[in-house]
Amino acid sequence: MSLNPRLVKESFSVVEPVAEEAAAYFYGRLFSGSPRLRAMFPPAMGEQRERLFAALTRIVWMADNPEGLSAYLGRLGRDHRKYGVVAEHYTAFGDALIATIRRFAAEIWTPEMEAAWAAAYRMAADMMKEAAEADAEAAPPWWPAEVVAHERRTRDIAIVTVRPSQRMDFRPGQHVALQTARWPRVWRAFSIANAPRADDTLSFHVKAVPGGWVSSSLVRETRIGDQVLLGPPAGTMVPPDSGRDILCVAGGTGLAPLKAIVEHVVEHTTGHTTGPGRVPGIHLLFGARHAADLYDLDDLIRMESGHPRLRVLPVVSDEPDYDGITGSLPDVMERLRPWGEHEVYVCGPAPMVDDAVSRLRRSGVPTSRIHHDSPYGAP
Ligand SMILES: NC(=O)C1=CN([C@@H]2O[C@H](COP(=O)(O)OP(=O)(O)OC[C@H]3O[C@@H](n4cnc5c(N)ncnc54)[C@H](O)[C@@H]3O)[C@@H](O)[C@H]2O)C=CC1
């Protein structure tokens, strides 16, 4: 049966407004048909339901863009290996999915729609399975890792360093999902806060957020010797080798991937100030609400003192008496200079990232040179 993106989109748009109800129905249907699958999911399903719909929405609306769709489904397939998903699970998932769409789009449902969904699902599942199989030849589904250092930097922020039992290849700026023994099957994304190291350890900057099971456990309960699991590295906010000067705008623990990128750049450039491999000038704006929240400033200042072309500028937004640069990070960024010739990296709270990115665009920085990523939103 041939693909018919129009019919898939049409029926999905009827389900979208009742996404929450449809997702609850989907999981009910999935678990009643295949009770063994329940054990693969976390105890609380609220977020899972949101992720399901976020991923489905992306897939359905990308149906006319085969290249983007194939890249996304490939990532999704590889990423699902860490949940223990294997080929036969796709059948149960597909049956429950089509039953859900059929029910919630009942008013407009036709045999042609049923056939369009079956064909689309088969194609998507095949792409995910193929990517997962290819990945299985090169990498494990997850990496067990031991906590080798735990530094509490503030009441809520810790730097947690782990050593995976098997080397993980990653690019600076990427993130991984992490699971603690305390909360089985609950995965949270954290950026790797270092460039690859000789001893293969990885550091994470973790802030305990209200209601954040994994982050609170990592900050408050985790000890050296504890075991965690890591998913595969993901994310496209990686350093280009354009040789251009660099601006990094880091809000809070959004510093993590930017520190990895800065480390990589200063380690991999020649020391010349012109020509290929020249050391770019790097400005790193590190913002916090209060001076006491600049949790990694001492380390950054140490890096700065070893690299004459690195400038670290701490910015404090909610403490007018701070003896340094004060104000909102996007305001300060804009105030400092035009950044039109720079490669720019932005990471931190989503509203800050949105504001900084739109100001950069307005001031003429080409989109191709503005890099940002949202690991927390990724399904
Ligand atoms: N831990 C990690 O590996 C990573 C964390 N992140 C994200 O980074 C964020 C860090 O949050 P916190 O440390 O709690 O930051 P925070 O709320 O303490 O704020 C950090 C900085 O961002 C500024 N800011 C906050 N909201 C703003 C807004 N609406 N407009 C303009 N500026 C704003 C603050 O003034 C401050 O300078 C989280 O959203 C997290 O999801 C992103 C990538 C990696």
Confirm or reject: Cβ of 196 under 6 Å from ligand 1.
Answer: no
Q: Is 330 in the pocket of ligand 1 (CB under 6 A)?
A: yes
Which of 159, 205, 207, 255 is the pocket-test mutation for ligand 1 (most atoms within 8 Å of CB)? 207
> Domain segments of the chain: what residues?
5-136, 143-230, 246-377
Query: How far apart are the CA of 373 and the centre of ligand 1, in A?
Result: 13
Q: Which of 295, 243, 297 is closest to 269 using CA atoms?
A: 243
pLDDT digits (tens, 9 = 90+) for 248-298: 999 999 999 999 999 999 888 755 565 556 779 999 999 999 999 999 999
Reported confidence tier of residue 374, pLDDT bands at 50, 70, 90 = low
Integer distance in angstroms from the first to the last C-alpha of the chain?
29
The two tokens of residue 64 are 């006319």
Ligand 1 neighbour 201 (Cβ under 6 A) = no
- Cα(347) to centroid(ligand 1), Å: 8
- Closest alpha carbon to 243 in 214, 273, 201: 273
- Is the distance from CB of 279 to CB of 266 less than 8 angstroms? yes
Task: Give the phi and the psi of residue 230 in degrees, each rounded to 5.
Answer: -120, 140
Cα(367)–Cα(346) distance, integer angstroms: 12
Q: Is residue 352 within 6 Å of ligand 1 at its C-beta? A: yes
Buried b (16+ CB within 10 A) or exposed e, 186-211: bbbbbbbbbbbeeeebbbbbbbbeee
Give residue 341's identity as a one-letter amino acid code: E
Write down the architecture of domain 143-230 according to CATH: Beta Barrel (2.40)
Ligand 1 contact, 349 CB (< 6 A): yes
Among 325, 329, 333, which is best to mutate for testing ligand 1, by the most ligand atoms less than 8 A from CB? 329
Residue 83, classified by CB atoms within 10 Å of its CB into exposed (0-12), middle (13-18) or buried (19+), is middle
**Least confidently predicted of 123-127, 146-150, 279-283, 366-370:** 279-283
Mutate to test the pocket of ligand 1, among 230, 289, 319 (most ligand atoms within 8 A of CB): 289
- The answer for residues whose C-beta is within 8 angstroms of residue 251's C-beta and 6 or more apart is 287, 288, 329, 347, 348, 349, 352, 353
Cα–Cα–Cα angle for 370, 350, 195, rounded to 5 degrees:
60
The mean per-residue pLDDT over the stretch 342-369 comes to 95
Q: What is the CATH number of domain 5-136?
A: 1.10.490.10
Give the integer Cα–Cα distance in Å for 182 and 318.
35
* pTM given for the model: 0.89
Q: What average pLDDT does the segment 11-23 reach?
A: 95
Per-residue pLDDT tens digits for 25-64: 999 999 999 999 998 998 888 888 998 999 999 999 988 8
Classify domain 246-377 at the CATH topology level.
Answer: Rossmann fold (3.40.50)
